[in-house]
Amino acid sequence: MKRVVIVGMGFGGVRAARELAGKGLEVLMLDRNNYHLFQPLLYQVATAALEQESIAYPIRAMARRWSETRFRLTDVCGVDTDGKRVMTSEGPIEYDYLIIAAGSETNFFGMTSIAEHAYDLKRLEHAEALRNQILGLFERAVKEHDPARRRAMLTFVIVGGGPTGVEFAGSLVELVRYVLSKDYPELSITESRVLLVEAADTILISQPAHLRKYALNRLRRMGVEVLLNTKVSDAAPEHVVFGDATVLPTHTLFWSAGVKAGPLAGTLDIPKAGGGRIKVKPDLTVDGHPDVYVIGDMAWCEQDGAALPMVAPVAMQMGAYAGKAILARQVEREPPPFRYRDKGSMATIGRSSAVASAFGLHLSGYFAWLAWLALHLMYLIGFRNRILVIMNWAWYYFFHERQVRLITMKESGPPRCRLS
């Protein structure tokens, strides 16, 4: 029985494994985590709307349902394409077919100070750390007597006007205005600021102009300060510096202004393109290695003269294609070239508000928000997870309350008591 090794169990890896399960091949799934993470909802964990476990699903629970699949928890550190081996922290693993779906990481564009001081949302622990930061600063602000320092603690800067930045900004400002304002009556809500910084002249660039305008106006009405044509050039623990040298006191910088291929791509002796992504052929294999497929955020696949975006729908379609292509080659049939079918995009702005562009339809407001809810629930893995997410969303919708306001990380060591 031939072995297919899948590196990374994100959206692409899961789709590939599902396609290959029970088809007469040994499918071995590798990941450094033992769970599949639904990354589009990480920002809701960071803003106390959802529990961590409600957007993660154990990979072994999937393997239990899929025949001829196994999972191994390990770190992948390289690939020997000539020897057809995956190099892991547990030793080499041989393969007949390899699917690399190792995802992406945040791109700080070489700005080391920003990389050191900014928060991002790529892993579950990132969301928990950001939630701790937000809630912890409100606790500190209650005890701070200096108005300038208190205002800096309650100033949150979000860089990047794409879907992640817009959704995080809307969720954060609602958390502050409708929940934390009641938790901390000692603080004035006017002291808190949420700034969304975008280098371009618009947000949500992939959306039609009228939906971009709607989203911009909606954010501003909610209280988000949207700064267009503005760049962040430097950062420190207690301030950020804009491109025009303006210094803004703040303790929280969230970066969603770009992504690049994950670290594994840099270890592979394969031609790269923008963002360190691996160039793939029309069938998603790499040049000279027809048994190696690269899918998802790590793949540079051009279609109609442009590279496909690094988004979940692309990864899912690539994963399904890679699985089908391997099955076709098992019966000596050449698969057709991969073709991405764009089904549209959407972003939620806040409670009862979103923008959506799909199948020639352009929606905004309540109905776009309902479509956003339905789509995310559909792609979320696990019945229990769907129930938990629905319950949390319903609770917030009817009561404007978020239950997951937990600070779960504290300074190590015994408590220190002040005597004066």
User: Using one digit for the tens of pLDDT, what is the confidence trace for 114-164?
Assistant: 999 999 999 999 999 999 999 999 999 999 999 999 999 999 999 999 999
Query: If we measure between CA atoms, which residue out of 313, 310, 317 comes closest to residue 339?
Result: 317
Q: Quick one: average pLDDT of 25-50?
A: 97
Q: What is the pLDDT of residue 76?
A: 97
Instruction: Count how many residues are written for the chain.
Output: 420
Residues 269 and 253 in one domain: no
Give the chain's domain count. 2
Q: Which of 275, 300, 330 lies at the terminal end of a domain, its last residue? A: 330
Residues 252 and 276 in one domain: no
In the chain, pLDDT over 70 holds for what percent of residues? 97
Active site residue 167: yes
Catalytic: which of 105, 167, 174, 198? 167
* Residue span of the structural domain in which 139 resides: 112-257
| 0.75 exceeded by pTM | yes
Q: Which of 275, 297, 330 lies at the terminal end of a domain, its last residue? A: 330
Residue 278 lies in a domain: yes
Q: What is the pLDDT of residue 53?
A: 93
Q: Quick one: average pLDDT of 376-390?
A: 95
Rounded to whole angstroms, the Cα distance separating 28 from 25 reads 10
Residues 88/76, Cβ–Cβ less than 8 Å:
yes
Indicate if the pLDDT at residue 411 is higher than 80: no
Indicate if the pLDDT at residue 410 is higher than 90: no
**Helix/strand/coil (H/E/C) assignment for every residue in 53-88:** HHHEEEHHHHHHHCCCEEEEECCEEEEECCCCEEEE
Q: Quick one: average pLDDT of 275-303?
A: 96
Query: Each residue of 224-278: pLDDT tens digit?
Result: 999 999 999 999 999 999 999 999 999 999 999 999 999 999 999 888 999 999 9
Indicate if the pLDDT at residue 88 is higher than 80: yes
Residues 173 and 233 in one domain: yes
Rounded to whole angstroms, the Cα distance separating 207 from 191 reads 33
Q: Give the confidence band of 412 by pLDDT, cuts at 50, 70, 90.
A: low
3-class secondary structure, 376? helix
Q: How far apart are the first and last CA of the chain?
A: 73
Q: Quick one: average pLDDT of 72-89?
A: 96
- Residue 119 is classified by DSSP as B
Rounded to whole angstroms, the Cα distance separating 248 from 148 reads 11
